[in-house]
Amino acid sequence: MPKDFDHIVIGAGISGLGAAHFSNRRGRKTLVLESSDRIGGCINSQAFADLGGFWTEAGGHTCFNSYGNMLTILDDLGLTRQVQPKLKVGYSLWKDGKRRKITSQLHFFEAAGAIPRIFKAPKEGRSVRDYYGEVLGRRNYQDLLRHAFQAVICQPADDYPAEALFRRKPRRKDVIKAFTFAEGISTIPRAIAAQDGLEVRTGQQIAEIQPQDTGFSVRLQDGSELSADAVTLAVPPDVATQLMPADLEAARDAISGIGMSEIETFVLAFDKSDLDVPPMAGLIAVEDAFYSAVSRDFLPDARYRGFAFHFKPGTLSPEAQIERACTTLGIRPDRITAQARVSNRLPALRSGHGERVAKLDAALAGSRLGVTGNWFIGVSMEDALTRSRAESDRLFGQG
């Protein structure tokens, strides 16, 4: 029986949209189903209409010229020539109620003695605490690096797999090293979704996915059904576990129990004339209620400045979060010109995660089901797209 689509992707974050892009480029009739009312997932250039469209990144905030799969997509969409360079501004620490230099927490002699180990210390199978404590020194890890890594992944970093953090990738020298777009990184998911031959539907709640002939039936909670030759789950691991088709129990078992980290983000905009703090990339919090703050100062606006504060869940009320954010910036809450509250979820990977992924891949071998996301080889946009590209090649052949 003919299917409604060649490929249905569940989830419209960058992983799902990447998977959809790769199959669409192969001429496959592709549909993306997203449960929320927006696309992009952790890519969210939060714009404020009342401020003339001024935006601040509420999630992922930087692309690099080492993001090979992303650059392939940008080339396909004609976006590579639109990249904007990021102003070089630095991070500061927020510790004991004060902004401090990063180097104030660095133990130079310990680092100098430990650095030679980075060339021979094994990384695979080790935790971030174990690996970086060895190659850069225990005190450096405890006083500085653990907080910097927490700021990157917005969750406790000690038991995170070392191999999932800062993987070396080749750089494309014809592209700016670190870049964004005039309207933020959300330019990318919007452009992918707007392609001919690719359909995206938001507000779609999936009830179940079941095998059907040589493909799958996707039943929505409103009772409607869609069929496809292939399906890709581009959702968090807990959702993937729930939606795994009945004939793939081994795949479900392989990923059940992977945790998720909740992040509460406040995006705040201010009139530039009201802020005295110098331009900065953001703040790394040391033993505070937030993991990090990332600014919009890398692409200055004529009138406004914006900051996204990523808070630990359940530590402060929304009102107290705003108060804490304003305290770090030395400004009163009544000077906020616009604000938005965003909830995000990131995978809480742990040592041994690679073995889970290997079991999942073994269970998926030969099936028409793909599984992708930011929880395979790392949480960066390129890590997610690397997995999406690999799954697309498995489902549809090298393209």
Strands 198-201 and 290-295: unpaired
Q: How many CA atoms lie within 13 A of 187 on its CB side?
A: 23
Tell me the per-residue pLDDT of 226-281, one tens digit each, with 9 for 90 and over: 999 999 999 999 999 999 998 999 999 999 989 999 999 999 999 999 999 999 99
Q: Which residues of the chain does CATH 3.50.50.60 include?
A: 5-43+186-258+351-396
Contact 239/35 with Cβ under 8 angstroms? no
Tell me the per-residue pLDDT of 62-111, one tens digit each, with 9 for 90 and over: 899 999 999 999 999 999 999 999 999 999 999 999 999 999 998 888 87
Query: At 109, phi and psi to the nearest 5?
Result: -65, -40
Tell me the per-residue pLDDT of 107-150, one tens digit each, with 9 for 90 and over: 888 878 877 777 778 888 889 999 999 888 899 999 999 999 99
Report which DSSP code applies to 27. T
Per-position DSSP letters for 124-182, written without gaps between them = TT-BHHHHHHHHH-HHHIIIIIHHHHHHHHTS--TTSBGGGSS------TTS-SEEE-T
Question: Token match 């530590």: residue?
Answer: 315
Contact 332/326 with Cβ under 8 angstroms? yes
Between CA 119 and CA 135 the distance in angstroms is 9
- pLDDT for res 319: 97
Per-position DSSP letters for 42-72, written without gaps between them = T--EEEEGGGTTEEEESS---EETT-HHHHH
**Six-digit token pair at 251?**
């795949």
Other C-beta atoms closer than 10 Å to the C-beta of 56 total 27
Query: Domain 5-43+186-258+351-396 is classified in which CATH homologous superfamily?
Result: FAD/NAD(P)-binding domain (3.50.50.60)
Between CA 129 and CA 148 the distance in angstroms is 12
Mean pLDDT to the nearest integer, 281-290: 95
3-state secondary structure at position 300: coil
Between CA 44 and CA 17 the distance in angstroms is 14
